[in-house]
Structure 1
């Protein structure tokens, strides 16, 4: 098989949560520019609509803003999507947030908000869209669910982001549980565990810690859009046809060597 056929995502219908900025934007841009029909969703309607308009200059990108931390918003998004599509080939669960505070003063609100969005919403959003995924999958070409975790779910961070780290560890294990149980429905579930990529979330990291993490990374740099695009396209294409329940760290070697 030719490499163009192995890695092609042309014609696929793709949904990306948290798709208006950061890693979500990197993934959306990669899929739109390679011929997929992409739906992005995020809480900030203006930003979401703006990116969709920009990306539509080079392909097809539709914005359906929603606050996926709320069950009724998950339902509203799904209903709007079902009015447009009869199947989904690839779902990226990327929406997430973080919260940092010292152990002794870490608030309940900083726990509930992060765990609910990063774990609960991911599960119920996928549950709500599973019929559309099932409609796309076949024995020869499974539909894909790709959960965006974090290396903070694989190693112990120096930053006190307790609920975030716990939530991302949960996402990585949940990925394996979903993979085991959805494969019979021709849906392959995998996860990406990003390291340090430029985003609104990582912008809050203290400069000295960011510099130290780069210094400790074997590849001595942070991630860039091409790094994320490559693994995202791989997991949504025939090239990953026998990959199921895997977690791919995209971090320059940081989490597995420090």
Structure 2
């Protein structure tokens, strides 16, 4: 996989400390809420103050977490969206966010690199709560690993940077394989049954079982995910052969 766009976007990224008001605006953008009041206030401030004012939206733009959406201005209100750096911040720092976010930014290089080379957009959009939970955990892990690498390389020489880069690439390529292995185990019929909640009478919640079974069927029809499984299967067989033939 080519990670050049991913690294180009994040090369100068630094962890952002943002205030309560900025977090509130990000939360609304993440959840696709109406920002008219905040944006209207920002426009008034912008017209009355000097550049570099302390408005929340101005801070988020200055931190490269937000960008203005291209296109027409609706009723004098500008529209904003997460930048790639802003999306990376959300994936690594936010506890929860809706599946809608992963669809809305499905063409962003961050998600194209970490997620959508392994899954179709429709699969993620159809996520059950259980499946979506492991997807968000996976994304956070990838972002945290990348963030640690960025911090470790700030004052490193080129030789050490190259070593750390190789380590990062190994981890980024390993994580989706571990994710796929986890999905395989979690969605075996026996584990779907064992993880399905029970009613007061002790019977399996049939509706819940059917929902997870449908998720399994969706995954089985996802060509990108099946391609990932095939690669893992090949690597596993080769590794197994090497280990067992040496005895």
| TM tier relative to shorter chain | under 0.3
TM-score between the two structures when normalised by the length of structure 2: 0.21
Q: Which has the larger radius of gyration?
A: 2
Q: Return the structure number with greater relative CO, CA threshold 8 A, min gap 6.
A: 1
Determine which structure has the larger helix proportion and give its number.
Answer: 2
Determine which structure has the larger strand proportion and give its number.
Answer: 1
TM-score between the two structures when normalised by the length of structure 1: 0.20
